[in-house]
Amino acid sequence: MRNLALVFCFSALVGAGIVACGDDSSSANAADTPSSESSLLSSSSADNSAGAKSSSSEKTSSESKPSSSSTEPGSSEDVAKSSESAPESSSSVVLEVSSSSVAPASSDSAPASSDDGKCTNCDSFTAADPELTENGGKGSVTTYGSITAKETSLGGACNYGQTNIQYYAAIHVNVSPGDEKGPWNGGAACGGCVHVKARTPDGWKEVTVRITDRCPDANCGVDLGGAPASDIMGIQVGRYSGEWEFVSCEGVEGVWGDSTSIWVKEGASEFWSIIQVRNPKDMVKSISIYGVDTRDAHELEMVVGTENFWTVPKAVLQTDNRYRVVVKYRTGTDDEWKIKGSELAEPEANLYLYEHRD
């Protein structure tokens, strides 16, 4: 048998000028372990259909075995090495492995084009529920008030009354109609500032506004007052696509109407009083009252129904003892007033911070 195999190999060398053969031991190894070398041998001695099966087996073997192992046969790396010395008759196997191991350039590697915010028919954004993000939201940006007169805020649902604030807005109450899951939160958003971006024919335009009101529109996201709407929309008012983020009001022009103060609601007395912070640094997170002449302390609660007000305990209203009123904001440093308890019982008192620090 060995002599017949040598005769066969010699005949193949003379006829084709190329030889691909092995001894009995290599054939035995190929039967024991499927390797790239044995696949090449089988493809040179079998018919076309057998060669196709060997090629398929080669591909499966190279995918299922770790290529990093130097002792494990069947890796694509072994096939690549053997292909350098392999006869031309095994080229179909080499092509099969090459096509599976060399991946085409991925389109994901191309840099994504930047969003420049440009749009057409920008004032006709389709109304939809706003979407909440980590520190703001996205959706409709609309307007109320006059964009030509640039009127100042009348306080809106935040109950600030007449102000000198030109850059103001309303924020959405709901995410889906009636769910009250928007940032308004019963007036807790009052006094906070929002940085708004909207898409326009010229690209993104931006403005920072103070929240003084809540949206009346079920699909509203942010509803801008006149001056900020003019900055973004020009004279083409309507419903724009945009996004917004809550920021501190400190250092922002146009959002301040006066100095920071505690304002006592009309109708207050020694038996009942509610207060609010006007022109705060940011939305108010909490208000606490600590006794200076006494050791009593009180955490105020937000009023339900009368938005953006906090209830003062009756025990504080009925004394001239001194108190520290500490206001904590969503961001920034706290503000602190030093006042008599009875001052918080005076209706419509406006207690400026700069007058009550000592």
pLDDT single digits (tens) 204-254 = 999 999 999 999 878 999 999 999 999 999 999 999 999 999 999 999 999
- Encode pLDDT of 325-338 as tens digits: 999 999 999 999 99
- Judge contact between 55 and 92, C-beta under 8 A: yes
What pLDDT is attached to residue 216?
84
Tokens of 293: 């002449």
Structural tokens at position 38 = 């044995």
In the chain, where do the E strands start and end? 131-133, 136-143, 168-171, 193-198, 205-214, 222-224, 240-247, 261-264, 274-278, 284-291, 297-299, 301-302, 310-311, 322-329, 335-340, 350-352
Listed range (84-88, 131-135, 177-181, 226-230) with the worst mean pLDDT: 84-88
11-40 pLDDT, tens digit each: 433 344 333 333 443 333 333 333 333 333
pLDDT of residue 10: 38
| Close Cβ partners of 36 (under 8 Å, ≥ 6 residues apart) | 58, 61, 62, 73, 74, 75, 78, 79, 82
Q: Is 86 left (phi over 0), alpha (psi -120 to 50) or beta?
A: beta
- Residue indicated by tokens 């290599």: 26
d(CA 340, CA 320): 5
**Amino acid in position 81:** K
Pull the structure tokens for residue 344. Answer: 């918080």
Q: pTM of whole model > 0.75?
A: no
Token output for 180: 């009250």
Q: What is d(CA 41, CA 210) in angstroms, rounded to the nearest whole number?
A: 79
